[in-house]
Structure 1
Amino acid sequence: MGENMQNYILLDRFIQVLSSTENSVDSAQEAFDEIAPAYSITRITLDMNIPETRQTPTGEVRHLSVYEGEISDDTEAEIVWLEESYRTFENGIITAKVYAPISTNWSPEERQVLLSIMKVFLIHIGRCRLVELVQRSVLTQYLTGLPNSGGFLSFATQKMLAGELKKYNSYYFNLRGFGLINRRYGPEETDNIIVRYSRVLLEFTSEDEIIGHLGGDNFVALIRKEKTEAFLNLLQKTETFGIKDGAKVPITISAVAGVFDIDDSVKNPGQVIGRSSIACSVARSLSNEPFLFVTKEMSTRVYREKQIEDRFEEGLSQREFKIYYQPKVNTQTGELVGAEALSRWLCKGEYVYPAEFVPVLERNSYSVGLDIYVIEDVCRTLREWIDHGMDPVPVSVNFSRSDLTDEHLAEQILKIIHKYDIDLDYIQIEVTETATSKEKGLITDFLHKLKGMHIASSIDDFGTGYSSLGILRDLPVNTIKIDKSFIDAEVLTSRDETILRNIIRMAKELDIEVITEGVERKDQIDLLHRVGCDLVQGFYFDKPLEKTEFEKRLQTKKYDV
């Protein structure tokens, strides 16, 4: 067999072994065993110099020995006989060096084959790194190169399967004041600041820990428990910099964090994010708290809220929500003049009250489904009463502020009223007063649509926002409901009386009806008489009543006063 043929047989064997795995470095020893003895090769090394990029946030500088031949005591001193480099897709350099004894004497053909072998080896390394990057990018946040939620959960899953998850604390943290940084430095440099911040966090972590970037200024982490204090200190004060007008400006970034001390209660990896994120939300609402640990009470609340979310749609379809009616009474005449429709949830035999389920539904934009359900049930009941010869009173239905982002909501309400052929005089729509300009805009648009459709409207909890007088001036409402906080004091003073009298006077001069809610005591009734408010709602006359109980009130429409 000729020398060339022998060389190419060795090359073919090398390629077959190298291609048997996706990890070139791991297979290098076995692959080079096919050719190294024939060429007296004693050692092959790799120098990897990869720059910092978004794909490799910390860069990569490594010296690896990928092949070690058999060396005996009488082996001659070795030198680098061959060196070949490869430029990576990140514009980095990987250099392979082939060592052999000083006395080695390769023919030109042998040297050419070895060069081909080293080029094949380096190309294979580049290909494997690219495949690895593509696979990793699915689990990586594009900006920082940190793991995204998928990558973070993959790591948590591995630790859980290995029985090691309890060695860690889970963190969910949000950067404080990043909107200000964005306005000062602009979007592009803000991205650079986020990247620099991420690298500081990476320098803190060990190989068996992880920092994840969920996007924007939201991060997650799994850090070993013995490093808790050090990591919380880092989150409270992390030094980096921004570039402004060509100058480097020091920036101190602080984060607000939720921390979950992982224990045996974890049944799936997703809980390590979920629980710490709840604690982070609570910490954010407490301006003086840089971090909060998950408590048993928090976990119980999270579990309860998840139950409500998961059961809500089925509860609607199974008509588990029952409508109660709380009477509105004229205190001068004792006449029943109206009612407010209120929902109660009888979930698997257990009552869930609005104070528990309404905030959960509003946070998840589910409340519009319930509010539509309530008005449809009210209209169905009104139709039933009318068909049975009863004389109903106007019923008010409350719609959440979160519903008002639906620009077709007013049309949907009118369609339901028409569906049951209900006189518009029997329906009033209540919305709660707001303190934000955005919500005020939504409420204003909604109330103008209702007015154009001749549907009466009411502002609930009047006086709890910051712009009550502006509401009287700007919003086209038929009724305001004075919040119970105005009459809740144990002893009602002349100041209470003065404030109420002026609100009621202004409202009446604007032809707006006034009703006070939460009335429970005779002295409250007396005060309201003095200030000119005769319409009330509250336990003094009646609690919210089931439909059949309220029907009894409709028969007489009278209370003792």
Structure 2
Amino acid sequence: MDKPKILDKFIQLLSDSEDTLRAAGQAFSLIGPSLNISQIILDLNIPETRQTPTGEVRHLTVYLGEMASDEVTEIVWLEESTRTFENGVITAHVYAPIETNWSSDERQLLQSAVKIFLIHMDRYRLIELVQKSSMTQYLTGLPNSGGFIAFATKKMFAGEIKNYNSYYFNLKGFGLINRRFGSEETDNIIRRYARTLLEFCKEDETIGHLGGDNFVALIRKERTGDFLKLLEKTEVFGIRDGERLPVHISAVAGVYDIDDSLKAPGQIIGRSSIACSVARSLANEPFLFVTKEMSTRVYREKQIEDRFEDGLLNNEFKVYYQPKVDTKTHTLVGAEALSRWLCKGEYVYPAEFVPILEKNSYSIGLDIYVMEDVCKTIRHWIDKGIEPVPVSVNFSRSDLAEEHLADQILEITKKYNVDLKYIQIEVTETATQKEKGLIADFLNKLNGMHIASSIDDFGTGYSSLGILRDLPVSTIKIDKSFIDNDTLTKRDEIVLKNIIQMAKELDIEVITEGVERQDQIEFLQNVGCDLVQGFYYDKPLSLEEFEERLKNKNYVI
């Protein structure tokens, strides 16, 4: 046996391949048969580190010789180990029949070959780790979105993807866990949870971590029930003050039963995330399967989001004006500016696009756009000799976190030299104490700038009477729900009359919206509210229609 030549060839085979494990089988074939080697097993035992957050334990068959058989009694004749860069251990076990008798040269050759292999193996692992890191979430070691999509893409190309359900799941109450254990131990809890998920996962399945408390998974359809049970409640542990405490983790999940409608790998995450979002909005739904209606709705939302910026730039949003009328004189006394979106020849109405813009914090762009358009129009009317009426412009509650919003509004009125008596800023009554604070700050700033303000949908939100007491509003707009009943009762009258009386005593103007019938007009006059807005007098009017109405402010009823 020419030892130098064999080792040279052995090294060449390992060096020429990027896949050290595959090349090792060929390399050991150079010496395995002559030494009667049954098999070579590689054990990897890698601790939990930043590079491998969940650790790694693998047992790999590197070489399988002709002597390997259940009938052959074999033992480990040679064992070599090396430490990895993250202080783990890689050990090679060389098995041969019990009657094997190597010479010292043969043993030395084998020992040299194994040591060379372990050096290459350490290099291979380092390269593997670098490649893996781009596809791995750093905290848990699970695939990130790129790694998850790569796995899904392989399954699509193999024609196997319809064997799976896709999951997007969000962990419930993780803010509470963070406050209880602190951020460092919470990270450890997430790692332990990730390890539990991995223990459930089979080799042909995958679970990914998108960051934070958001995860994704591809699990075979026959295991759906078991996986949903795992997501419903999983116990791990956290350590606080040296004490090990149980932590129960539950997830809200969206599930996409993958079918023929799947066209692109990205839809695997997108569709299940749709159902997860819906499930999160329903307190008693731990999981929901994707439906066609969900997909259609979210596709429409995505269209609106993607088109919105271009819509603003191209002036696709048109401002309409709904008159406010004094029912005693049937005279036009004001208007509310409402936006309509003419998108690719089709009108999109606020009921559809406003909630989407608010959810994504895009609404401030539209509200500033409308504010500017209104001021420009008022300036145009004045220059033409047409006497304007005050116009109220809506601002979403989601806008109010913008610290300088009131300053922006004032700057726009100055830009067009519009008297502040023609402008009123309208915000919707809030449903939460936190939002009430934002509204209070905003209205106080407007009040300090002598800009009139109005509360929309009065009577539907948080502590309505407190608004009369605490907020410096000029107008309250009574919600249409107060007058919507087919028959208006004495109780309706008493409640509304007292609200209106209190408002007037506080020098707050009152207007009622959604007025459509003569009996509603009479009822409102009886309780002391003469100002109304609604289809009884006019629908929202285009700029041209409203301009004609301004020229003759009297309604003939």
Match of 1:104 in 2: 102
Question: Does structure 1 retain, via aligned residues, the 8 Å contact 2:39–2:68?
Answer: no
Match of 1:138 in 2: 134
Alignment partner of 1:320 out of 316, 320, 325? 316
TM-score, L = length of structure 1 = 0.92
Aligned: 1:482 with 2:478: yes
For 2:144 and 2:68, how far apart are their aligned partners in 1?
A: 50
For 2:59 and 2:457, how far apart are their aligned partners in 1?
A: 70
Match of 2:246 in 1: 250
For 1:340 and 1:508, how far apart are their aligned partners in 2?
A: 21
> 1:443, CA displacement in angstroms?
1.8
1:47 counterpart SS class: strand
Match of 2:233 in 1: 237
Aligned: 1:552 with 2:543: no
Identity %: 74
Change (3 A) 1:29 1:484: same
Change (3 A) 1:215 1:395: same
> 1:43, CA displacement in angstroms?
4.5
For 1:68 and 1:544, how far apart are their aligned partners in 2?
A: 82
Counting only pairs closer than 5 Å after superposition, residues 453-492 of structure 1 correspond to structure 2 as 453-492=449-488
What CA deviation, in whole Å up to 9, does each residue of 1:454-499 have, x standing for no partner? Answer: 2211111111111212222222221111111111111112221222
Counting only pairs closer than 5 Å after superposition, residues 354-393 of structure 1 correspond to structure 2 as 354-393=350-389
Counting only pairs closer than 5 Å after superposition, residues 461-540 of structure 1 correspond to structure 2 as 461-540=457-536
Alignment partner of 1:174 out of 145, 170, 173? 170
For 1:34 and 1:507, how far apart are their aligned partners in 2?
A: 97
Match of 1:348 in 2: 344
For 2:46 and 2:287, how far apart are their aligned partners in 1?
A: 37
Question: Does structure 1 retain, via aligned residues, the 8 Å contact 2:255–2:276?
Answer: yes
Match of 2:222 in 1: 226
Amino acid at match of 1:320: E
Match of 1:542 in 2: 538
Question: Does structure 1 retain, via aligned residues, the 8 Å contact 2:254–2:276?
Answer: yes
Alignment partner of 2:331 out of 323, 332, 335? 335
Alignment partner of 2:397 out of 393, 397, 401? 401
2:182 counterpart SS class: helix
Tell which deviates more after alignment, 537-546 or 256-265. 256-265
Counting only pairs closer than 5 Å after superposition, residues 9-408 of structure 1 correspond to structure 2 as 9-36=5-32, 43-52=39-48, 55-56=51-52, 59-69=55-65, 71=67, 80-99=76-95, 102-107=100-105, 114-408=110-404
Change (3 A) 1:255 1:43: closer
> 1:111, CA displacement in angstroms?
5.4
What are the ranges of 5 or more consecutive residues in structure 2 without an aligned counterpart?
none
Change (3 A) 1:331 1:63: closer
Question: Does structure 1 retain, via aligned residues, the 8 Å contact 2:53–2:138?
Answer: no
For 1:287 and 1:79, how far apart are their aligned partners in 2?
A: 60
1:345 counterpart SS class: strand
Amino acid at match of 1:480: I
> 1:242, CA displacement in angstroms?
3.0
For 1:481 and 1:71, how far apart are their aligned partners in 2?
A: 90
Change (3 A) 1:45 1:288: closer
Change (3 A) 1:426 1:83: same
Amino acid at match of 2:100: I
Tell which deviates more after alignment, 534-543 or 401-410. 401-410
Question: Does structure 1 retain, via aligned residues, the 8 Å contact 2:433–2:462?
Answer: no
Amino acid at match of 1:105: S
1:539 counterpart SS class: coil
Amino acid at match of 1:104: W
Tell which deviates more after alignment, 494-503 or 55-64. 55-64
What CA deviation, in whole Å up to 9, does each residue of 1:75-99 have, x standing for no partner? Answer: x987645321112234332212345
> 1:340, CA displacement in angstroms?
0.4
TM-score, L = length of structure 2 = 0.93
Structural RMSD (CA): 2.5
Change (3 A) 1:245 1:386: same
Question: Does structure 2 retain, via aligned residues, the 8 Å contact 1:40–1:104?
Answer: no
What are the ranges of 5 or more consecutive residues in structure 1 without an aligned counterpart?
none
